[in-house]
Structure formats: structure tokens, C-alpha cells
Amino acid sequence: MSGYRLTTVETVREQGSWAFTAREGDADREVFLVPCADESDGDAGNDVDGETNGDDDGQPVRAWINRCTHEDQRLHREGVGAVTRGGSVVCPKHGSAFDTCEGSCDNGEAAGTTLRSIDVDVRDGAVFLVDEDLTYLYGGLPDDNGDDEGPSSSSHLTF
């Protein structure tokens, strides 16, 4: 199986999230990686190098399109990363929490929705983009005219 090498599982775990920009058709897509388990869950069935130990759902990291399903809001912001708590990615604008492994949300404004997943594979501790619809462009997110300054809500969640 081929694919574009993005980063390492260790880097995603250390930073809490990691983002890149890819091309899909004529549009650029922001994507972010998160560990598939809350740090308190231990290694979630993965051995030291980030490979799975036979679990059907043992992928140590997941990749998601960088947008809340409720409103066009970044979940991962440059300089901040993705806000995670208890195995969930939290929308900084409305507080909706998306499961890091499944992408599903059962609370807040985005309840009943699921983040769009992007196919990645882990080999020898490295994370590879294997989604056939996306072509890697660069690490990080585009400067979106100040969008990285945070949401325009009054909640401004940080943890």
C-alpha cells in the first residue's frame, strides 16, 4: 500500500493534533490528525511504534476534515491545535464534542452529525495519506485572512 508520508504517530500524540492541506478536485481541503484515544486510555491497543495489535478499530490516529459540521468553523487552528477533552475534539465556537475515533457528535449544536473522515494508514510508526480523493499539498493550514485568530463567538473554549 502506498501513500504520502505525513508525520509520525509520536508527533500527533505529542502535539495533540497535526494539520495539513490537500487538494480534492478543484478545492483545497484542510485536514487534521488526532490520536484515536484520550491519553488517559493508555496506548489503546497499539504497540510502541504505533502499529495496531490486531484490533479491528485499533488505528492509533484518525484524520478528519477541519470543519465543524454545524457551522463552517475550524476545529484545528494554527498555533493552538485541536482542543481535545475526554477522547473528543471540541468545537471552539459552540462546544460540540466529536469523538476522536468515530467523528460522531452527541451534544450541542452539531448533535447527530459526524465529521468527514479522511483515509490514513499507519506503518512503522509513520502516518500516510492513502485517501484516493485527496492529494497532499503542504503541512499546516492556509492563512485565511485572520481566521486563525479564533472563533467570533463569546465562548472561546480553551482547555
pLDDT digits (tens, 9 = 90+) for 104-129: 999 999 999 999 999 999 999 999 99
- The CA-CA-CA angle for residues 132, 104, 129, to 5°, reads 20
Regions of the chain where pLDDT drops below 50: 38-56, 146-159
At 94, which CATH number?
A: 2.102.10.10
Percent of the chain residues topping a pLDDT of 70: 76
Give a yes or no: residue 149 inside a domain: no
* pTM of structure: 0.80
Give a yes or no: residue 91 inside a domain: yes
Give a yes or no: residue 105 inside a domain: yes
* Residue 159 one-letter amino acid: F
Give a yes or no: residue 51 inside a domain: yes
In angstroms, how far is the first alpha carbon of the chain from the final one?
A: 38
> Would you tell me how many other CB atoms lie within 10 Å of the CB of residue 68?
25
Give a yes or no: residue 151 inside a domain: no
Give a yes or no: residue 159 inside a domain: no
Domain that holds residue 59: 4-141
List the beta bridge partners of residue 8: 126
CB 77 within 8 A of CB 150: yes
Q: Total domain count for the chain?
A: 1
Q: What average pLDDT does the structure give for the chain?
A: 83
